[in-house]
Chains A and B, each alone.
Chain A
Amino acid sequence: MTVMLPFLRRIMPQLITLAVIVGLISFMFPGFFTISIANGRLYGIPIDILNRGAPVALLAIGMTLVIATRGIDLSVGAVMAICGATAAWGITEGYSLAATLAMALSAGLVCGLWNGFLVAVLGIQPIVATLILMVAGRGVAQLITEGAILTFNHEGLIFFGSGSLFTVPTPVIIGVAAGALATLVVRRTALGMLIEAIGINLRASTLSGVNTRVLLIAVYMTSGLCAALAGIIAAADIRGADANNAGLWLELDAILAVVIGGTSLLGGRFSLIASLIGALIIQAVNTGILLSGFPPEFNLIIKAVIILIILILQSPTMRSVVIFFSRDPAGAGEVEKETVVP
């Protein structure tokens, strides 16, 4: 119990935000919580949010780790496209499902390796390093599909997008499983601390004997792997690889999810669970906009305003204002960040 408390306190702002947004939608749309079973699959708006949020949630897992090392991965959208295209290509070429999946996942790992190599070995700044793959990656994906949407009808592969296991949609299961696995690996081993250490002070970590180079590469590879999973899901969902549009601009959503999840873009302390909730918040906003029936030209403004409100409420300044008003000088263990007022 005592171990859970700081954890709960850490994700509380995200949980509250999610609750408020879900509350808003269900107020607007009273049928929100009705969940039924259609075609042997759970069916309802909350399920949609989970299901549609899964790719961004997956991306957010890798992105959280990358951002914790003070990096950023702009290429995840393009990597999704590459891996989706690889999967579609593999299955249409007649490879077995296992081989196809292996190829798609390896494609993600290779992309991650490339990014990691640029960042850790060549010392190129992460934004630029991953920008290269962001630009070129979509070209690679199109090269595989030759510009067309490569469709397939293999039930096994389609299962990853629109299948379900015990009535739960597969993407949700994959997302939850990946999140749980990543959390477990990162927190049960020393990886989490080492990643945070290199994010906060790379040089000091190297001097302390942390194998920063390998760790950085591994983190980018994880991001590539997550993007590969997301890419497979996205392709399986529409039964085709759309090299142009798969994952387009999703990197921004993933970064947003991480930031809403409270991980600083300057690296350091991170929380995977909070990022996952962040991904759900974003998807809830998107779904809410779709349900609202507003004309689409307002979509961006609504999204921007909601995001701004969320971020303003979560900003350190606001938090200290809240602490100030709640008259809790001990700050409940929270570290007051001294603002140096010039």
Chain B
Amino acid sequence: MPQSDASQPLLRARGVRKIFPGTIALDGVDFSLEAGEVHALLGENGAGKSTLIKCLTGAYRRDGGDILLEGEIINPKGTIDAQAYGIGTVYQEVNLLPNLTIAENLSLGHQPTRFGMISVRDMNRRAREVLANYDLSVDVTRNLGSCSVAVQQVIAIARAVTLSGKVLILDEPTASLDSHEVGMLFDVIRSLKQRGLGIVFISHFLDQIFEISDRLTVLRNGRLVGTETTSDIDRLRLVNLMLGRELEEEIRPHGKDHTATGEPRFSFTGFGRKGSIAPFDLAIHSGEVVGVAGLLGSGRTETAEVLFGVSHHDSGVASRGEGTDLHLKSPRDAIAAGFGFCPEDRKTDGVIADLTVRENIALALQARIGWMRRIPDREQRAMANDYIRKLDIRTPDAEKPVGLLSGGNQQKVMLARWLATNPSFLILDEPTRGIDVGAHAEIIRLIEDLCAQGMSLLVISSELDELVAYSHRVIVVRDRHHVAELVGNEITTDNMVSAIAAPEKETVI
């Protein structure tokens, strides 16, 4: 029987099992976290990382195994219990309430009260103090829903940090952060570590793992592969452990030489929308990947949304090839013109959670064909299975509701939905967010393949390395203006960073 003594790890999982219908998500996983360490949890999409932490914090009922906090068996029945034990958690999908203010989100459940009444002034003041640590200057009385995903992510982290007395668990906290915010987060993590907290950190960014973690645990298909000390392991072996095979190629960190010439396939002149993105010119050639770089909230998503007709442009015109004007007032118009758009926020804008993988993949194509001509089941299944294979979507079969897939796999399903429509111009907003190393490489290869086949792509990404790898041109967005365009050899991380940072528009235009 375990005794409570100092030699015990802070948090320990013993033989945790979790079974979903058709999937064994966790198969006897052991995991231990020491006080004062950052412990990374790694694995492919669907390996069971999120499930493990949900079991640890009682959000899921376990099917087997024990959880020990400082040597004592604990049985958290849910997040409240876990919080009472001093375990703060940021779950993978941002789990905050869009209808409450930032301050309310930060303080929900432990609001400062005076004579039994919440003191709003205190609550807001505290919120401002907390956020000051993260270099975030936002109006804390604003509704959370009006903030970008990134800001929400930071707030979720801040909330978890204030709640964690002993353990902080972060499930892919950096997926939608840029390097600046990541740096900020790491500072916070380090100071918490100093204070003796144990931190569980999940990420698909190996650089970040190597930078911040002390030890790491790798899961594969719900099984424990091993726990290692981070400094003892090299990148290649780590990838090997995760995938169970060699990764054929890593990202090439240099730009494309080829520059598209000739007639643009689509061109947009003076395109913009008051209040969200200043008018810009953009020409898209066939077989070209245009990258979009910028800080969070700089207006990258807005650019994509205006192009796709999600929000109506109020200035400018769009045309196909030389002359014909395009009418882009709604997503349907855009789709009819051959556009596709894979949005950034997959939870609210992307997946239809209760529909199956097959139906999610067929949806956009079906919508374009019209409701009368139903794609026969056989074809739908063939199409779905095809993409499940091509994109390596981890699901027992095509009939699983997509909401039950792991985050990264949902992302792939969304990609598949648009590939199925075979668009001539595909807009991808953060396509690799939350995708594991193996799949990351696959998606980049896919982007290259698609453009080799003549598809035009506009890719928004916070990962500059990635942009360098596949872009022919990179547009830099700052403060809702397109401020620079880098072509060919100019596309380097350094150039982009300086364009993003430059206060004046003196960079190459």
Interface residues of A (CB under 8 A from B): 188-191, 193-194, 196-197, 200-201, 203-211, 215, 268-269, 329-331, 333-336, 338, 340-342
Smallest beta-carbon distance B131→chain A, Å:
26
Which residues of chain A are within 8 angstroms of B237 by Cβ–Cβ distance? none
A330–B352 Cα distance when bound, in Å, is: 24
Contact B310 A207 (CB under 8 A): yes
Contact A201 B371 (CB under 8 A): no
- In the complex, 26 of the A-B residue pairs with CB atoms within 8 angstroms, ordered by the A residue number, are A189-B371, A190-B374, A191-B371, A193-B362, A193-B363, A193-B374, A196-B355, A197-B352, A200-B352, A203-B348, A204-B349, A205-B363, A207-B341, A207-B349, A208-B417, A209-B364, A209-B367, A209-B368, A210-B363, A215-B371, A269-B354, A330-B22, A335-B401, A336-B20, A340-B59, A341-B58
- Knowing A191-B371, A204-B349, A208-B417, say if A341 contacts B354 (CB, 8 Å): no
Which residues of chain B are within 8 angstroms of A193 by Cβ–Cβ distance? 355, 359, 362-363, 366, 374
Contact B371 A342 (CB under 8 A): no
Q: Which of A204, A210, A336 contacts B21 (CB 8 A)?
A: A336
Which of B77-85, B447-455, B499-507 faces chain A?
A: B77-85
Residue of A nearest to B364 (CB): A208
The answer, yes or no, to whether B481 is at the interface (CB within 8 Å) is no
Residue of A nearest to B330 (CB): A206
Contact A207 B331 (CB under 8 A): yes
Contact A194 B371 (CB under 8 A): yes
A268–B363 Cα distance when bound, in Å, is: 14
Q: Is the interface of A mostly helix, strand, loop or mixed?
A: loop
Which residues of chain A are within 8 angstroms of B80 by Cβ–Cβ distance? 342
Smallest beta-carbon distance B18→chain A, Å:
10
Which residues of chain A are within 8 angstroms of B355 by Cβ–Cβ distance? 193, 196-197, 200
Contact B348 A190 (CB under 8 A): no
Interface string of B320-362 (1 = CB under 8 A from A): 0000000000111001000001010000111111110001001
The answer, yes or no, to whether B61 is at the interface (CB within 8 Å) is yes
10 closest pairs, A vs B, by CB? A209-B367, A342-B78, A209-B335, A190-B374, A331-B21, A208-B364, A210-B367, A190-B371, A268-B354, A341-B78
New A-B contacts (11) at CB < 8 Å, excluding given A329-B19, A341-B58: A190-B375, A191-B371, A197-B363, A201-B348, A207-B308, A211-B367, A334-B21, A336-B20, A340-B60, A341-B61, A342-B80
Which residues of chain A are within 8 angstroms of B446 by Cβ–Cβ distance? none
The answer, yes or no, to whether B508 is at the interface (CB within 8 Å) is no
Chain A CB within 10 Å — which of B362, B367, B373 has the most?
B367
The answer, yes or no, to whether B372 is at the interface (CB within 8 Å) is yes
A196–B354 Cα distance when bound, in Å, is: 9
A335–B373 Cα distance when bound, in Å, is: 30
- Knowing A200-B354, A207-B331, A211-B332, say if A194 contacts B367 (CB, 8 Å): yes
Which residues of chain B are within 8 angstroms of A210 by Cβ–Cβ distance? 363, 367
Which residues of chain A are within 8 angstroms of B363 by Cβ–Cβ distance? 193, 197, 205, 208, 210
Which residues of chain A are within 8 angstroms of B371 by Cβ–Cβ distance? 189-191, 194, 215
The answer, yes or no, to whether B404 is at the interface (CB within 8 Å) is yes
Smallest beta-carbon distance B177→chain A, Å:
24
A269–B78 Cα distance when bound, in Å, is: 29
Which residues of chain B are within 8 angstroms of A331 by Cβ–Cβ distance? 21
- Knowing A189-B371, A203-B349, A209-B332, say if A338 contacts B60 (CB, 8 Å): yes
Chain A CB within 10 Å — which of B79, B351, B359, B366 has the most?
B366
Which residues of chain A are within 8 angstroms of B370 by Cβ–Cβ distance? 190
Interface residues of B (CB under 8 A from A): 19-22, 58-61, 77-80, 308, 310, 330-332, 335, 341, 343, 348-355, 359, 362-364, 366-375, 401, 404, 417
Chain A CB within 10 Å — which of B332, B349, B354 has the most?
B354
Contact A201 B331 (CB under 8 A): no
Which residues of chain A are within 8 angstroms of B350 by Cβ–Cβ distance? 204, 207
Which residues of chain B are within 8 angstroms of A206 by Cβ–Cβ distance? 330-331
Smallest beta-carbon distance B333→chain A, Å:
10
A189–B370 Cα distance when bound, in Å, is: 9
A205–B79 Cα distance when bound, in Å, is: 32
Smallest beta-carbon distance B358→chain A, Å:
10
Smallest beta-carbon distance B405→chain A, Å:
12
Which residues of chain B are within 8 angstroms of A189 by Cβ–Cβ distance? 371-374
Which residues of chain B are within 8 angstroms of A268 by Cβ–Cβ distance? 354
- Knowing A207-B331, A329-B19, say if A200 contacts B353 (CB, 8 Å): yes
A63–B375 Cα distance when bound, in Å, is: 26
Q: Which of B21, B61, B310 contacts A333 (CB 8 A)?
A: B21
Contact B404 A335 (CB under 8 A): yes
Residue of B nearest to A338 (CB): B60
Contact B78 A201 (CB under 8 A): no
Smallest beta-carbon distance B345→chain A, Å:
9
Which residues of chain A are within 8 angstroms of B368 by Cβ–Cβ distance? 209
Contact A201 B367 (CB under 8 A): no
A207–B427 Cα distance when bound, in Å, is: 12
Which residues of chain A are within 8 angstroms of B352 by Cβ–Cβ distance? 196-197, 200-201, 204-205
Smallest beta-carbon distance B79→chain A, Å:
6
Which residues of chain B are within 8 angstroms of A341 by Cβ–Cβ distance? 58, 61, 77-78
A331–B79 Cα distance when bound, in Å, is: 27
Smallest beta-carbon distance A173→chain B, Å:
27
Which residues of chain A are within 8 angstroms of B373 by Cβ–Cβ distance? 189-190
Contact A335 B21 (CB under 8 A): yes
A200–B349 Cα distance when bound, in Å, is: 11
Chain B CB within 10 Å — which of A190, A329, A340 has the most?
A190
Smallest beta-carbon distance B107→chain A, Å:
18
Smallest beta-carbon distance B85→chain A, Å:
14
Contact A330 B21 (CB under 8 A): yes
Chain B CB within 10 Å — which of A193, A203, A269, A341 has the most?
A193
Which residues of chain A are within 8 angstroms of B59 by Cβ–Cβ distance? 340
Smallest beta-carbon distance B329→chain A, Å:
12
Residue of A nearest to B21 (CB): A331
Which residues of chain B are within 8 angstroms of A200 by Cβ–Cβ distance? 352-355
Smallest beta-carbon distance A302→chain B, Å:
35
Which residues of chain A are within 8 angstroms of B354 by Cβ–Cβ distance? 196, 200, 268-269
